[in-house]
Copies of this chain bind each other. A is one copy, B any other.
């Protein structure tokens, strides 16, 4: 049998998982400080839910893993955490509004196999349901800025508004039924470049003059204010621009990027993406936006405004790994090495554990040098040697693996030293 992972998936050994865990903990802390509480939905969803016309749209459905249970029911693996959130809110009409939750979980996309793209990846989502205020969009952008600060990353935040794109396509005379298709093409601008997008638009039956106008307008240069001023001259429907002006009044440190489109069809207002500055990784690290229609349509009545952002744990990890010089291979702080003293050494190990010190003890009866090699290889900072001499004197020999220094001391003093 050939041993391998499923294509497009990854294993994380401790040297990567420890960092991954740290990123997750950092994000959780920022989410909670902003008044969000955790929630969880299943990975398996009814296929009907994922395929609903109110959900992610055709493009993403093509990449959805489909399966059946023993009862022949059609199921799918969730492709994001937003559609399941909409289902939960629609199913729980007594939920207190605003509903502020975060969720960290695996999502799946059966897309083409490319470097840096995974078929199974973790999204860390923060959403507010029940608020249509632009202040809410601004709060999420501030949370995002704080999250990247906490991760020690320079995140460049780009914002746009679907209403601006709609008005722009209206001004360029794109027929209403083709606007979504055009937005999907614009979304690929960063990846494919202007010429390829132009060609794709031609293939979609858009007139050359229209394409030229769209491309000119989405490429407008200048400050945020200059772009808004220019667009005011072009667009008839100015609601998106007004929303953008309000948003920018609360969060001046973001970049208004008219070409930002976002692939998912459910967005209705503000959209945003975050990129790492000075990194070889060019994919977005976080993205999101406002989707005011989805939940109401799922529920079948009324409108339920919602806005959210999703942090990509895998991409953030890739960016941080690319920066990192050293990796931690273990969270263990102490390795206890008994030399013909297992029962006594075991008691010492339990004493350290009771003092909340992460402790491993040799179970293999290996010789001293092999044990030191092991502790060194996985990066355990202290080795505690317990020989018959140490037992007699009620002390331990502590080797600091960083400095190489050896010290005789009592277990109590050692606990103080580690926990200080």
Q: Which residues of B contact A45 (CB under 8 A)?
A: 5-6
A254 on the B face (CB < 8 A): no
Identical subunits present: 2
Give complex CA distance A44, B107 in Å.
11
A329 nearest CB across to chain B (Å)? 7
Give complex CA distance A29, B359 in Å.
12
Give complex CA distance A330, B32 in Å.
9
**B69/A298 in contact, CB under 8 A:** no
A394 on the B face (CB < 8 A): no
Smallest CB gap from A121: residue in B: B42
Say which residue of B4, B35, B46, B364 sits within 8 Å of A131 (CB atoms).
B364
- 1/0 per residue, CB under 8 A from B, across A329-366: the answer is 11110010000001000000010010011111101110
Kindly identify, within residues 56 to 81 of chain A, every residue whose CB is under 8 Å from any CB belonging to chain B.
65-67, 69-71, 73, 75
**A34/B359 in contact, CB under 8 A:** yes
Q: Which residues of B contact A14 (CB under 8 A)?
A: 37-39, 101
Give complex CA distance A330, B98 in Å.
12
Which among A15-23, A200-208, A278-286, A399-407 touches the partner chain?
A15-23
**A42/B3 in contact, CB under 8 A:** no
Known contacts A37-B332, A332-B35, A342-B135; A100 and B6 CB within 8 A of each other: no
**B92/A33 in contact, CB under 8 A:** no
Say which residue of B11, B17, B66, B133 sits within 8 Å of A364 (CB atoms).
B133
Q: Which residues of B contact A299 (CB under 8 A)?
A: 3
**A13/B67 in contact, CB under 8 A:** no
**B69/A110 in contact, CB under 8 A:** yes
A196 on the B face (CB < 8 A): no
Smallest CB gap from A67: residue in B: B67
**A7/B360 in contact, CB under 8 A:** no
A184 on the B face (CB < 8 A): no
Say which residue of B90, B100, B128, B365 sits within 8 Å of A3 (CB atoms).
B90
Say which residue of B32, B42, B98 sits within 8 Å of A363 (CB atoms).
B98
Give complex CA distance A177, B92 in Å.
53
A90, A332, A363 — most chain B CB neighbours (10 Å) = A363
Known contacts A3-B298, A120-B44; A35 and B360 CB within 8 A of each other: yes
**A3/B49 in contact, CB under 8 A:** yes
**B42/A10 in contact, CB under 8 A:** yes
- 1/0 per residue, CB under 8 A from B, across A86-115: the answer is 011011100111101100001010100000
| Residues in A lying within 8 Å of B, measured CB to CB | 1-14, 17-18, 20-21, 29, 32-46, 48-49, 52, 65-67, 69-71, 73, 75, 87-88, 90-92, 95-98, 100-101, 106, 108, 110, 119-120, 128, 130-131, 133, 135-136, 139, 142, 146, 298-299, 329-332, 335, 342, 350, 353, 356-361, 363-365, 374, 377-378
17 sampled A-B residue pairs with Cβ under 8 A: A2-B48, A3-B91, A4-B46, A6-B42, A9-B42, A11-B42, A12-B40, A18-B37, A29-B356, A33-B353, A38-B331, A65-B67, A65-B69, A70-B110, A96-B374, A128-B363, A136-B363
